[in-house]
Amino acid sequence: MAKKDMDWANIGFGYVKTDKRYVSEYKGGKWDDGVITDDDTITLSECACVFQYAQTVFEGLKAYTTEDGRTVTFRPDLNAERMMDSAKRLEMPPFPKERFLDAVKKVVKANEDFVPPYGSGATLYIRPFMFGANPVIGVKPAEEYQFRIFTTPVGPYFKGGAKPITVRISDFDRAAPRGTGHIKAGLNYAMSLHAIVDAHNNGFAENIYLDPGTRTKIEETGGANIIFIDGDGNMVTPASDSILPSITRRSLMVVAEKYLGIKVTQRDVTLAEVESGAFKECGLCGTAAVISPVGCINDHGREIKFASGMEKMGPTLQKLYDTLTGIQMGRIEAPEGWIYEIK
Ligand code: PLP
Ligand code: COI
């Protein structure tokens, strides 16, 4: 299949309509067989549960062209499982894992000419999502749902690509104790919109949210988990029940230990510890962010500068980045089951 004629090296992180998408509907207590369709629009009742009570969850993963020309996705089984967990928390019928994997395969295959070429720096972002579709006015879950997947080619999530960014400590909370911070629900992102607009207006690329219970510990940003490298080159990442369990972060913990011999600890990380200069490198990690280096954290005017500086990624994060992307692009052998080929 001929690749689309796009300026792959210069696309940003935005929506580009591709040819096909996948749709399955849930009615009468079961999911239908699902179809690939050209229609990118959705027509719903004005009273659909998703519009009134935000009953919607989503996922994000990517398809890559490997060095030897295969199209692959990275650990989609974990996206399937996380989406089932998200659905259960919002009283939605989970879309079965095997069906999810089959739908990813079908939709990527149908849009294969939008999967950016190897070495272009771009990837095909895959967005599975589902929502309550029938009219609901009393507060209760819907009875009918749609599960959909669309794809869109993307470049780097943060402007400037691999250049370190400055992020700020947010005065807003992202998640409540015992709330929904650990699932990928649209509602978590709705409540972060004001905070991100305000951060951008003040010159910051993202918000770091603190733990909602005590506001003393680092949690994550609006769209990525956080990793730190300490003075001995060890990786440290926050532990919390209200953080989204990032597949990238979980993968990096394995890459660090098994491929690079880096000690990994997941534990409470206090803002005071970060301010004390305990860490030499800091990065945001996620499907969209991959690893985006943080050069400076601004805490209400006080600047916490990392030794790695504002010019490039620090040496340990660079090794993690090279190994992870090497696995995703087929240059480095992956652990069993991490690469799911689209054939
Ligand atoms: N945290 C939040 C709030 C996110 O939106 C994302 C993106 O998916 C992540 C972390 C990273 O998760 P993953 O690595 O599974 O993409
Ligand atoms: C992802 O990394 O897939 C996300 O969903 C993050 C989002 C902010 C784009």
Same domain, 286 and 184: yes
pLDDT for residue 248: 98
Quick one: which H or E segment has residue 194?
A: helix 193-201
Residue with tokens 């490198």: 281
Q: State if residue 128 touches ligand 1 by the CB under 6 angstroms criterion.
A: no
Q: State if residue 220 touches ligand 1 by the CB under 6 angstroms criterion.
A: yes
Domain that holds residue 110: 8-154
Ligand 1 atom nearest residue 251's Cα = 14
Give 243 Cα–ligand 2 centroid separation in angstroms.
14
Pocket test for ligand 1, best of 207, 227, 248 (most atoms within 8 A of CB): 248
Considering its fold, how many domains does the chain have in total? 2
pLDDT for residue 61: 98
Ligand 2 atom nearest residue 248's Cα = 2
Domain assignment present for residue 337? The answer is no
Residue having the nearest C-alpha atom to atom 3 of ligand 2: 60
Domain assignment present for residue 115? The answer is yes
What CATH number is attached to the domain comprising 292? 3.20.10.10
Q: State if residue 225 touches ligand 1 by the CB under 6 angstroms criterion.
A: yes
Share of the chain above pLDDT 90, in %: 98
pLDDT for residue 166: 97
Domain assignment present for residue 340? The answer is no
Rounded CA separation 281/314 (Å): 6
**Boundary (domain end) residue, out of 120, 154, 188:** 154
Pocket test for ligand 2, best of 78, 157, 183, 247 (most atoms within 8 A of CB): 157
Give 185 Cα–ligand 2 centroid separation in angstroms.
11
pLDDT for residue 264: 98
- Lowest model confidence (mean pLDDT) among 53-57, 111-115, 160-164: 160-164
Q: How many CB atoms lie within 10 A of CB 150?
A: 19
Q: Any idea which ligand is nearest the CA of 76?
A: 1
Name the residue type at position 80. A
Q: State if residue 24 touches ligand 1 by the CB under 6 angstroms criterion.
A: no
Confidence of residue 2 (pLDDT cuts 50, 70, 90): confident
pLDDT for residue 161: 76
Same domain, 138 and 170: no
**Boundary (domain end) residue, out of 128, 154, 180:** 154
Q: State if residue 286 touches ligand 2 by the CB under 6 angstroms criterion.
A: yes
Q: What is the pLDDT of residues 276-293, one digit of tens each?
A: 999 999 999 999 999 999
Confidence of residue 162 (pLDDT cuts 50, 70, 90): confident
Average pLDDT over residues 142-170: 94
Length of the chain: 343
Listed in sequence order, the DSSP H helices in the chain are 49-53, 76-89, 97-110, 186-190, 193-201, 247-254, 260, 271-275, 315-328
Domain assignment present for residue 2? The answer is no
Residue having the nearest C-alpha atom to atom 5 of ligand 2: 60
pLDDT for residue 159: 82
Q: State if residue 286 touches ligand 1 by the CB under 6 angstroms criterion.
A: yes
Q: State if residue 186 touches ligand 2 by the CB under 6 angstroms criterion.
A: no
Domain assignment present for residue 343? The answer is no
**Read out DSSP for 141-200?**
--S-EEEEEEEEEE--SSTTTTS-EEEEE-SS-SS-TTSSTTS-BHHHHHTTHHHHHHHH
Same domain, 175 and 148: no
What CATH number is attached to the domain comprising 122? 3.30.470.10
Give 286 Cα–ligand 2 centroid separation in angstroms.
7
Q: State if residue 153 touches ligand 1 by the CB under 6 angstroms criterion.
A: no
Give 138 Cα–ligand 1 centroid separation in angstroms.
32
Domain assignment present for residue 1? The answer is no
Q: What is the pLDDT of residues 177-201, one digit of tens each?
A: 999 999 999 999 999 999 999 999 9
Rounded CA separation 242/238 (Å): 11
User: 239: closest CA among 227, 248, 256?
Assistant: 227
pLDDT for residue 42: 98
Same domain, 208 and 132: no
Q: What is the pLDDT of residues 204-263, one digit of tens each?
A: 999 999 999 999 999 999 999 999 999 999 999 999 999 999 999 999 999 999 999 999
Q: Over 80: is that where the pLDDT of 1 sits?
A: no
Ligand 2 atom nearest residue 184's Cα = 5
Name the residue type at position 256. A
Q: State if residue 248 touches ligand 2 by the CB under 6 angstroms criterion.
A: no
Same domain, 208 and 310: yes
Ligand 1 atom nearest residue 181's Cα = 3
Same domain, 172 and 316: yes
Q: What is the average pLDDT value for the chain, to the nearest integer?
A: 97
